[in-house]
Structure 1
Amino acid sequence: MHRRRRTALLLSAAIAAAPLLTACGNDAHPGAAAVVGGQRITVAQLENRVNEVREAQRAAVADEAQYAQAVAGTGTLTRDTLHNMVLDQVVHRAAQEAGVTVSRYEVQQMRAGLEQQTGGAKALETAWLQQYGIAPERLDDNLRFQLEAQKLAAKVGTDTGDPAFWNALAKASKDLGVDLNPRYGTWDAQKSSRADTKMPWLREVTAPETGQTA
């Protein structure tokens, strides 16, 4: 597979404690973890996503000690998951505005290439779970997201380091009016990231090695 197809745009998970600055989650948006484009991401939806990861982690290990270690290694999972849920919508909006689309066939092709590199479907699912906190049932969604980001970067610039790419995301963030519940941090529209995120959310790497942690 061509190197460009092998390259995945992956989420970092270095997120610190958040300041209580935004209004979402008060009486204006009861029960919301975030509001994106006028639509709520509910706390229940967020918790369901987190539970998917925890259940997959539990199924992947042999004993309680290993599970406890996996949980300890993903202590910011709830915030990271919400960040990813919001970012998915931001990238999708920016891609739509740029006329970028991703087909199911393209997702399947990307997945097939990554499975070949990591040693099969199960190995790929395990790698994405361990390194990026993506539950197996969300893997295709994550690959679609990454393909949208790749194609958007190619459409508006050269790669994800190009200012035009980040400007497109900033515009989409502002258009959507992202508003986080203060318990999960704040959203910096200009950077298309949680304001308390210390590292970039996007980085280009080749397929992960199985059995390692990020």
Structure 2
Amino acid sequence: MHRRRRTALVLSAAIVAAAPLLTGCGSEAHPGAAAVVDGRRITVAQLESRVNEVRSAQRAASKDDAQYEQVIANTGTLTRDTLHGMVLDRVLDRAAKNAGVGVTRKDSQQMRAALEQQAGGSEALEAAWLTNYGVAPQRLDDSLRTEIEARKLASALGADMNTTDGKAAFWKAMSAASKQLDVDLNPRYGTWDVQKSSRVDAKTPWLREVTATGTQQTA
């Protein structure tokens, strides 16, 4: 499974960090919440559960402790990236709703079948998504739904994602959706910076996320 096979519309943290997208002040603490989107909380417990799913899958896929430790070192921003993805899922849902876009179960089944054929089976596809995109096997169908939703949104907008204008139209719709949802991060996970078009880590020396380099960066 290669990255080039994944659609250009993937809403991974790495791609979103380079695209005009979200607004959100992140100025108020929300006890127990990692983020608040449209008045609905993404709780710290929900975030930790998602991260643990990935870590458990990574551990099971590692041949020994040394390999697992290397995997952890290479994915030191997993918690922030996971939250980023959870927020983006909700933003994409709103943008799709605004455009009258929907995804059916058949859509997801067809895409999964095609990708499994390319990857060499279900397990191979799950392993590729875990390694390349930090998606736990039990979240693969959700990830594929996001892929399809993004593609359909671009189509509904008449946005060719191979062109500058097409990308601008897509991210404009996403930005409008995020404003409607009033995205707000718990400061411990950073803020949304419109000028820099990415999530920005909060500069709080008393709060650290252990990484291979001992630094906090946006993946």
**Is TM > 0.5 for Structure 1 vs Structure 2?**
yes
2:175 counterpart residue number = 170
Q: Using the TM superposition, give the Cα deviation of residue 99 of structure 1 relative to its aligned residue in structure 2, in angstroms.
A: 0.3
Which position in structure 2 is the counterpart of 1:180? 185
Deviation per CA, 1:147-168: give whole Å up to 9, x if none: 1111101111223452221111
Residue 7 of structure 1 deviates from its aligned partner by 4.8
**One-letter amino acid matched to 1:175:** Q
SS of the residue 2:113 aligns to: helix
2:106 counterpart residue number: 105
Structure 1 pair 114–120 and aligned structure 2 pair: CA distance change class (3 A) = same
Structure 2: stretches of 5+ with no match in the other structure: 18-24, 202-218
Partner letter of residue 116 of structure 1?
Q
Is the CA contact 1:94–1:168 (under 8 Å) kept in the aligned structure 2? yes
Tell me how far 1:190 sits from its aligned partner.
8.1
Using the TM superposition, name which of 187-196 and 69-78 deviates more: 187-196
SS at match of 1:22: coil
Q: Secondary structure at the match of 2:34?
A: strand
Within a 5 Å distance, the mapping from 1:3-152 to structure 2 comes to: 7-8=6-7, 9-10=9-10, 11-13=12-14, 22-24=26-28, 26=29, 29-152=30-153
Asked whether the equivalents of residues 13 and 84 of structure 2 are also in contact (C-alpha less than 8 Å), the reply is no
Unaligned 5+ residue runs, structure 1?
1-5, 16-20, 197-213
Normalising by structure 2, report the TM-score: 0.78
Measured in 2, the distance between the counterparts of 1:64 and 1:141 equals: 29
Shift in alpha-carbon separation, 1:64–1:39, aligned structure 2, 3 A: same
Query: How many residues align structurally?
Result: 184
CA distance in 2, matches of 1:110, 1:187: 32
| Distance in 1 between residues matched to 2:98 and 2:197, nearest whole Å | 16
In 2, the alpha carbon distance for the partners of 1:56 and 1:158 equals 36
Alignment partner of 2:42: what SS? strand
2:57 and 2:123 map into 1 onto residues whose CA distance is 12
Looking at structure 2, the residues matched to 165 and 23 of structure 1 have their Cα atoms a distance apart, in angstroms, of: 28
Displacement of 1:184: 1.0
| Percentage of identical aligned residues | 65
Residue 13 of structure 1 deviates from its aligned partner by 3.9
- What SS is found at the alignment partner of 2:101? coil
Displacement of 1:12 in angstroms is 4.4
CA contact (8 A) 2:34 2:44 kept: yes
SS of the residue 1:100 aligns to: coil
Match of 1:208 in 2: none
CA displacement 1:61-107 (0-9 Å, x = unmatched): 12101111111111000000000000000001000110000001101
The 1:12/1:39 distance shift into structure 2, 3 A limit, reads closer
- Separation of aligned partners in 2, 1:193 and 1:111: 30
- CA displacement at 1:23 relative to structure 2: 2.0
For 2:22, the equivalent position in structure 1 comes to: none
State the SS of the aligned residue for 1:30.
Answer: coil
> Which amino acid in 2 is paired with 1:182?
P
2:169 aligned counterpart, secondary structure: helix
Secondary structure at 1:40 match in 2: strand
1:199 matched residue in structure 2: none
